[in-house]
Amino acid sequence: MEFTDMEKKRDHLLTFFDVKKENLNSTKESNEKYRILITEGKINSDTFLQIVLQTVVLPEKFEKAPQTYLLINISSRDYENCGALEGLVKKAMAACGGESKITTCITGSINGKLDDGKQDKIIEKILMELKAKEVEKVHDEYTKSMIANSPLIEGDIEIVDKSFNVNIATRYNFEDDKTYFWVGTPVISSDY
């Protein structure tokens, strides 16, 4: 998709959430393989909205046409309103011709910096509880992240050639001296 088409789709999506694009921040990023349009901001004092449209040209070896992904992320402190917000997301996705795949993300922390071995043990325990099998793991100086498949969780997603339904990440934050853990189904839907 071209940016003008992505912006039209974004503007249509905003009508479902009763928010004007002038009240939100938008950023664009692109190269010869992808375009990303991110629009985000507060709908009200309790609710944050993020819409991400990404269009990509996949490597030839996958023999797939270019694809466009849509992410609607809503975070709210108002638990009572979560059902209504989920309904709005489903309607917005359907109006764009997409399938609604609602994700859940749980975040927790442990005081202090955990070494790699302790982080790995916690991740292994999460995988064991979910009866999940690791699909792919990424580890850098600051973050560990993995995707896996669990028979206890419905609804896989496929990105490029990998199918998964759970995403686990851990990272130490030196500012508050805590090691954070995220478990998302099927993906982590917040920044970490």
Q: Are residues 125 and 61 in the same domain?
A: no
- In this structure, of 51-55, 72-76, 102-106, 184-188, the range with the lowest mean pLDDT score is 102-106
Q: Which two tokens stand for residue 182?
A: 């995220």
Q: Is residue 192 included in any domain, yes or no?
A: no
- In this structure, of 107-111, 133-137, 148-152, 187-191, the range with the lowest mean pLDDT score is 187-191
- Phi and psi, residue 54, nearest 5°: -135, 130
Residue type at 47 in one-letter notation: T
> Furthest-apart CA pair in the chain: how many Å?
48
Average pLDDT of the residues in 10-16: 92
Residue-wise pLDDT for 93-139, tens only, equals 888 887 766 777 777 899 999 998 999 999 999 999 999 988 888 88
Q: Are residues 53 and 83 in the same domain?
A: yes
Q: Are residues 86 and 153 in the same domain?
A: no
| 190 band by pLDDT with thresholds 50, 70 and 90 | low
| 191 band by pLDDT with thresholds 50, 70 and 90 | low
Distance of CA 88 to the CA centre of its chain: 17
Handedness of CA 74, 75, 76, 81 (dihedral sign): positive
Q: Give the model's pLDDT for residue 122.
A: 94
Average pLDDT, the chain: 86
Please state, in angstroms and rounded to a whole number, the distance separating the CA atoms of residues 47 and 41: 9
Bridge partners, 74 (sequence order): 49
Q: Are residues 124 and 173 in the same domain?
A: yes
Please state, in angstroms and rounded to a whole number, the distance separating the CA atoms of residues 145 and 183: 10
Centre a 10 Å sphere on the Cβ of residue 65 and count the other Cβ atoms it contains.
7
Distance of CA 173 to the CA centre of its chain: 20
Q: Are residues 69 and 124 in the same domain?
A: no
Q: Is residue 191 included in any domain, yes or no?
A: no
Q: Which two tokens stand for residue 128?
A: 């064991």
Average pLDDT of the residues in 164-178: 92
What angle do the packed helices 82-95 and 3-16 form, to 10 degrees? 140
**Domain region containing 58:** 3-95
Q: Is residue 190 included in any domain, yes or no?
A: no
Number of domains in the chain: 2
pLDDT of 192 over the 60 cut: no
Domain boundary (95, 114, 138) is at 95
pLDDT of 61 over the 80 cut: no
The helix/strand count (H/E) of the chain reads as 3, 11
pTM of the model: 0.61
